[in-house]
Amino acid sequence: MTDAAGTIEAEQNRNIRKRWLLSLPALLIILVAATGPLLIVLLYSFLAPGPYGDVQWLPSFDGWVGVFMEKDIFDGTFSLASAHVSIFMRSVMLSLVTTILTLLVGFPTAYFIATRPEKTRELWLFMITIPFWTNLLIRTFAILEVIRNEGLINGLLLKSGLIAKPIQMLFTDGAILTGMVYVYLPLMVLPLYASMEKLDFRLVEAGYDLYATPFRVLRKIIIPLVKPGIIAGSILVFIPALGAYVTPSILGGGKNMMLGNLIELQFGQGRNWPLGSALSITLMLIVMVALLVYVRNAGSQGSRHG
């Protein structure tokens, strides 16, 4: 008996070892290609800036202090870095609003696809992924062509005589949001569809049989069941939106900085790589906090239902 147990245990150990060995290349790539550069960024954030870009190999906390505090250049007083705070807030707000809007548009879209006959679903999904074939920059410029003063919409409205002067749509907050929602929508629809596909529509029918209103069915049956999809989609949209700066600067006119622009400035004309590195790490920390909040919410939901 004990012998048999020993053999099984040895067999299991061998299996575990084999699995580790097989995943070793992947782990190495993750370690070298993902963690390595991050460590360099972390290291740079604790060095002094070189006079014309690059870093000097002197330990310094100026980069990190610069993220949160600023010395007024005119009266020399120290205060909270209000410029950085307002840029952070702008990026976070934009990401939040983008996430909410993509959810509002993406949810009915995913529901629509999931309720089509099985044969046509693939076609609909395929159509959702078509924009992914084109580069982000080109998609953004396409929107620009549609909404600019001599663009498609203004052209049609002017020709039809509905307006006398072109409506200023480009370079507004509305333009930025339209672009962001358009660009990130597939990232919301795909995970939502994945969980809706698994949804047992007999439960929905049962809800109706018991005289639930459509809104109640949505709130009590559909949303709780597709919650993992909602969470996954929101994460997938929120995180890249935080770092987005191409879309806001092309459609918004680039008058106000996003986090991405602020970081880029430090590595370019600002010539302050340590500050840029510290800002990048700060951005990552925000993303991690956001992830933790999501994950914890998801976890507690799961246990309640389990």
Angle at 293 between CA 288 and CA 299, to 5 degrees: 120
Out of 44, 171, 193, 238, the residue judged to bind other proteins by CB under 8 A: 171
Tokens describing residue 21: 């060995």
Q: Which residue type does 261 have?
A: N
Out of 272, 277, 280, 282, the residue judged to bind other proteins by CB under 8 A: 272
Radius of gyration of the chain (CA): 25
- Say whether residue 271 binds other proteins (CB under 8 A): yes
- Say whether residue 60 binds other proteins (CB under 8 A): no
- Say whether residue 159 binds other proteins (CB under 8 A): no
- Say whether residue 173 binds other proteins (CB under 8 A): no
Out of 92, 155, 256, 301, the residue judged to bind other proteins by CB under 8 A: 256
| Residues 63, 81: Cα–Cα separation, whole Å | 12
Give SS3 for 258. coil
Out of 224, 268, 299, 302, the residue judged to bind other proteins by CB under 8 A: 268
Tokens describing residue 261: 């622009």
Listed in order, strand segments (DSSP E) in the chain are: 47-49, 55-59, 69-71, 78-80
Distances in Å between the Cα of 99 and the Cα atoms of 32, 122, 221, 236 are: 32, 25, 22, 9
Say how many residues touch other proteins, by CB under 8 A: 34
- Say whether residue 150 binds other proteins (CB under 8 A): yes
230-249 residues near other proteins, rule: CB under 8 A = 249
CB of 170 to other proteins, least distance (A): 7
Give SS3 for 81. coil
| Phi, psi values for residue 218, rounded to 5° | -60, -45
CB of 241 to other proteins, least distance (A): 19
- Pick between residue 170 and residue 232 the one whose CB is nearest to other proteins: 170
Binding residues vs other proteins (CB under 8 A) = 51-54, 70, 73-74, 82-84, 86-87, 148-150, 168, 170-171, 249, 253-257, 261-262, 265-272
